[in-house]
């Protein structure tokens, strides 16, 4: 028996946490997880990110570290970077940001001074907090001018983007979304950024897996900087990455370290390297295509049942439903659906008359259920369950019955990364 086998396991050292993790494994197994920013990582990614690499400090970058003992970590970080650059066709990538929000902060730090004018899609229109929304540090430390979507079709209002850009001359312009079901037209943003001399940053946190697989257009080569999380459609561990053109590599690296962070999370870097390898396989292309196909099938089925879809449908992995015509607030629907084993999140819709904590919408997506191998038949069942639950969110007997049916279906589609 070696040393590690004699060491007590988690369930011996901390049975409470061990049990809670087991409970979460069960929750992730028996429910349909529709939160569009969530996914399942593979067992391989889990192994890499739960490794001894968490023990190592390595401030700096490969061959320029501030501590000794980097022989192995340097190789891992170089592999993560070279795989990602090849996969995305990028000049340079930094994989050290702790998550998506710190990656975005590093972009501000690289290109802006405090109080500089910046632009991003407003939160209520489907943008992210870190693109200058007022409760975020990015809205407080910079002079933020939010653009929105058009009243008539809820698509990005490029006339407004151009007018605001000409008026305020932003240093930095964000394009990227967290609740927008349509293709992002990066070239249109590029045109406007060029007209006013702004740095264009694309935040592909939600869609980087789709971009890697070629089922959503890529901003690489169009935007000056591209940020992303690694844990959404990309199916890596929780982390962040920043791609940029060669001329910005130094500024980005300096902004991440020593500008914003200390030591990188090497166990996460290893997990990202594994995810990058997985995302370069033909199976991943199929996966990403299935994510989009499933979202379309689900959207059409829901529309057929009288649901109001923001923008009328979807081009990507997510669907935003305006529940106003169903006379059910988003939160009531989300809570009833969760009881029925269907987990989404309540969300504002564009021009929402209700408050952000009690909005009119529900946001759902197909990345996680597609990772389980679900397809068209399951999407149709899901639309049917959602319809029944939203029609009677207070009917506890119905919610219990649907939860039972959901669990039964889930049994046939074991998720990646979770032991049966
Ligand atoms: C999720 C997301 C982020 C933030 O990522 P965290 O890892 O939660 O910090 C940033 N931008 C967009 C567009 C996102 O969807």
* pLDDT tens, position by position, 50-68: 999 999 999 999 999 999 9
Judge contact between 201 and 223, C-beta under 8 A: yes
List, for residues 117-139, the tens digit of each pLDDT value: 999 999 999 999 999 999 999 99
Residue 15, Cβ neighbours under 10 Å: how many?
A: 11
101 CA distance to ligand 1 middle (Å): 6
Q: Is 171 a catalytic residue?
A: no
CA angle (337 as vertex; 300, 325 as ends), nearest 5 = 55
Query: Measured between alpha carbons, how far is 26 from 344 in angstroms, rounded to an integer?
Result: 17
Beta carbon of 208 within 6 Å of any ligand 1 atom: no
Domains of the chain: 48-279 (3.40.640.10), 290-411 (3.90.1150.10)
> Residue 4: its pLDDT value, please?
59
305 CA distance to ligand 1 middle (Å): 31
Query: Measured between alpha carbons, how far is 245 from 256 in angstroms, rounded to an integer?
Result: 16
Across the chain, what does the average pLDDT equal?
Answer: 97
> Residue 3: its pLDDT value, please?
55
Query: Measured between alpha carbons, how far is 329 from 248 in angstroms, rounded to an integer?
Result: 45
Residue 2 has pLDDT above 90, yes or no: no
Q: Is 338 a catalytic residue?
A: no
pTM of the model: 0.97
204 CA distance to ligand 1 middle (Å): 9
Judge contact between 339 and 401, C-beta under 8 A: no
65 CA distance to ligand 1 middle (Å): 28
User: What are the Cα distances from residue 303, in Å, to 75, 298, 338?
Assistant: 50, 9, 21
> Residue 109: its pLDDT value, please?
98
Half-sphere exposure of 97 (CA within 13 A, CB side): 29
Which phi and psi angles does 150 have, rounded to 5°? -75, 145
Of 9-13, 197-201, 395-399, 416-420, minimum mean pLDDT range: 416-420
Beta carbon of 229 within 6 Å of any ligand 1 atom: yes
Residue 1 has pLDDT above 80, yes or no: no
Beta carbon of 131 within 6 Å of any ligand 1 atom: no
Rg, C-alpha atoms of the chain: 22
Identify the DSSP state of 52.
Answer: G
List, for residues 305-362, the tens digit of each pLDDT value: 999 999 999 999 999 999 999 999 999 999 999 999 999 999 999 999 999 899 999 9
Beta carbon of 178 within 6 Å of any ligand 1 atom: yes
Beta carbon of 138 within 6 Å of any ligand 1 atom: no
Query: Measured between alpha carbons, how far is 371 from 28 in angstroms, rounded to an integer?
Result: 12
Quick one: what percent of the chain has pLDDT higher than 90? Answer: 98
Query: Measured between alpha carbons, how far is 420 from 411 in angstroms, rounded to an integer?
Result: 10
**Beta bridge mates, 322:** 308, 361
Q: Is 141 a catalytic residue?
A: no
> Residue 271: its pLDDT value, please?
98
**Which residue pairs from 348-354 have beta carbons closer than 8 angstroms and sit at least 24 positions apart in sequence?**
348/123, 348/124, 348/179, 349/310, 349/320, 349/322, 349/324, 350/124, 350/125, 350/126, 350/148, 350/149, 350/154, 350/310, 351/124, 351/151, 352/124, 354/329, 354/330
List, for residues 215-243, the tens digit of each pLDDT value: 999 999 999 999 999 999 999 999 999 99
Q: What residues contact residue 238 under an 8 Å CB cut-off, 6+ apart?
A: 99, 229, 230, 231, 268
List, for residues 20-61, the tens digit of each pLDDT value: 999 999 999 999 999 999 999 999 999 999 999 999 999 999
Encode 276-298 in three state secondary structure: HHHHCCHHHHHHHHHHHHHHHHH
User: What are the Cα distances from residue 56, in Å, to 9, 43, 186?
Assistant: 22, 22, 39
Quick one: what percent of the chain has pLDDT higher than 70? Answer: 99
């Amino acid at each position: 028996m070696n040393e590690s086998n004699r060491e007590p396991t988690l369930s011996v050292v901390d049975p409470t946490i061990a049990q809670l993790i087991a409970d979460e494994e069960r929750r992730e197994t028996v429910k349909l997880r529709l939160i569009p920013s969530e996914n399942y990582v593979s067992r391989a990614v889990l192994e890499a990110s739960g490794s001894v690499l968490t023990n190592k400090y390595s401030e700096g970058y490969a061959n320029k570290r501030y501590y000794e003992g980097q022989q192995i970590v340097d190789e891992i970080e170089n592999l993560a970077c070279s795989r990602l650059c090849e996969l995305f066709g990028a000049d340079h990538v930094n994989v050290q940001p702790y998550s998506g929000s710190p990656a975005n902060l590093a972009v501000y730090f690289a290109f802006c001074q405090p109080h500089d004018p910046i632009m991003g899609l407003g939160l209520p229109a489907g943008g992210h907090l870190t693109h200058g929304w007022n409760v975020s540090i990015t809205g407080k430390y910079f002079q933020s001018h939010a653009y929105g979507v058009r009243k008539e079709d809820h698509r990005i209002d490029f006339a407004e983007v151009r007018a605001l850009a000409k008026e305020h001359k932003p240093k930095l312009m964000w394009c990227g979304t967290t609740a927008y079901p349509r293709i992002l037209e990066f070239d249109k943003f590029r045109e406007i950024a060029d007209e006013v001399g702004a740095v264009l940053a694309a935040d592909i946190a939600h869609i980087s897996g789709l971009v890697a697989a070629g089922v959503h257009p890529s901003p690489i080569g169009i935007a000056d900087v591209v940020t992303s999380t690694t844990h959404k459609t990309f199916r890596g561990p929780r982390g962040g990455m920043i791609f940029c053109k060669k001329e910005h590599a130094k500024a980005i690296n300096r902004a991440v370290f020593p500008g914003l962070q200390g030591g990188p999370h090497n166990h996460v870097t290893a997990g990202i390297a594994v995810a990058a390898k997985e995302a370069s396989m033909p199976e991943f292309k199929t996966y990403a295509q299935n994510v989009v196909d499933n979202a379309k099938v689900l959207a059409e089925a829901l529309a057929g049942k009288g649901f109001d879809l923001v923008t009328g449908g979807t081009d990507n992995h997510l669907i935003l439903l305006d529940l106003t015509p169903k006379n059910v607030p988003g939160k009531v629907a989300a809570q009833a659906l969760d009881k029925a084993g269907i987990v989404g999140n309540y969300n504002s819709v564009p021009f929402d008359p209700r408050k952000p904590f009690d909005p009119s919408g529900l946001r759902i997506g197909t990345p996680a259920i597609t990772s389980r191998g679900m397809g068209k038949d399951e999407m149709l069942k899901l639309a049917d369950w959602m319809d029944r639950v939203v029609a009677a969110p207070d009917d506890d007997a119905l919610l219990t019955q649907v939860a039972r049916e959901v669990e039964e279906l889930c049994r046939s589609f074991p998720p990646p990364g979770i032991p049966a």
